[in-house]
Amino acid sequence: MATLVFEGETKIFLEEFHDYSGPGRKHAGFYNPVLEIDRDLNVLFCRYIAKKGAKKFLDGLASSGIRGIRIAREVDGDIEMHINDCNPKSYEIIKKNVEINGVSAYVYNKHFCSVVQEKKYDYIDIDPYGSPIPFLSCIFKALKKLTYISITATDTATLCGAFDKACIRKYQAIPLKKHSVKEAGLRILIGYMARQAGSFDYSFKPLIGYSYGHFFRVYAKIEKGARKSNENIKNVGWVGWKNGWKLFEYDELDKSFIAGPLWIGKIYDKEVIDEISQIVDKKKLNKKEKLKKMLAHFKEEESLPPLYYETRYIAKEIKTAQPKIERLIKKLKNKGYKAGKTHFMSDAFKTDAPYDEIKRLFG
């Protein structure tokens, strides 16, 4: 049934509307309301990079055009918006939505690899149905010396260990199957992209990486240079369990690794999160309070070590009840350790405390 949907300062015409709670079924003019909070964040991120000098923006797999049109309408400054979808019906829907919103945008009906290589973009967004892998080599062949990208992956079951053979086959990485599976899955995705960027002599710096519902989303800065790429690849390693989480670089690897290769560096940039947090209140957003809470989580996690602990697994191991997260975090902080919540799971926490100390403070 045809309808108009309102997000931020933008309205979108849809020939079909389905109130998905998950990844849904891809069709022409596809629109997933669950991803509205990410599109809010996307607009704020694009405002940030526009201030940094980004001019030419590409929404490469646009479907209804909602991402690109929101950027064109809601990002201040002299930017040039390009919107593409290879589906002819989606192309017509995008053109109609561009007209409805009165924005200036170049609209294409081409294969992504064709449109991304015709021009040099400052920002490239892809939001595919499933894995982003088929599109990555096209991106890395077409970059400027400095390019910002945002990538979605909805094949989270693969990345999180439900289909471990598929993860090994597609991402050349072993996933975790319990404890921190979501963060490990996100880090496998980032690690894969960093390795692919490195093969083209680009460094890959995640600025924001997170999990929400059925998808992972990564915002990153990519820069040309073999030397930077060599330094950057030090952030790709393995994770193992030796009475608590341990991270290994390549030359430290031994038989105790259980997942990887994956990204072991930071997945949040403090400057980006601070800048976005300062402008969120100024924007008209349907999910404003939810987004503010998410950004607060990112800010807290930026200073915490990689990978989280799930209270249910620890409680089962030591045969006790799960404590309240807030109480446990307070105990850890009182002992002088870093500790905090994570956006990945409500019953999980991050800390630099030794695992024996975590168990001791559990009661």
Q: Residues in the chain with pLDDT < 50?
A: 25, 255-256
Q: What is the pLDDT of residue 27?
A: 57
Cα separation of 318 and 312, whole Å? 10
Q: 300 lies in a domain?
A: no
- 166 and 67 assigned to the same domain: yes
Q: What is the pLDDT of residue 252?
A: 56
Q: What is the pLDDT of residue 30?
A: 81
Largest CA distance in the chain: 62
Q: 291 lies in a domain?
A: no
Find the CATH number of the domain harbouring 216: 3.40.50.150
Start-to-end CA distance of the chain, whole Å, equals 54
- 52 and 166 assigned to the same domain: yes
Cα separation of 320 and 317, whole Å? 8
Give the tens place of pLDDT for each residue, 129-142.
999 999 999 999 99
Range of the domain at 320: 308-363
Number of domains forming the structure of the chain: 2
Q: 27 lies in a domain?
A: yes
Find the CATH number of the domain harbouring 348: 3.30.56.70
- 243 and 346 assigned to the same domain: no
Give the tens place of pLDDT for each residue, 147-175.
999 999 999 999 999 999 999 999 999 99
- 92 and 199 assigned to the same domain: yes
- Tokens 């800065």 -> residue: 221
- 151 and 243 assigned to the same domain: yes
- 183 and 321 assigned to the same domain: no
Give the tens place of pLDDT for each residue, 233-279.
999 999 988 777 777 665 555 544 589 999 999 999 999 999 999 99
146, with CB counted inside 10 A (0-12, 13-18, 19+), is: middle
Q: 294 lies in a domain?
A: no
- 237 and 312 assigned to the same domain: no
Q: 10 lies in a domain?
A: yes
What phi, psi does 266 have (nearest 5°)?
A: -70, 145
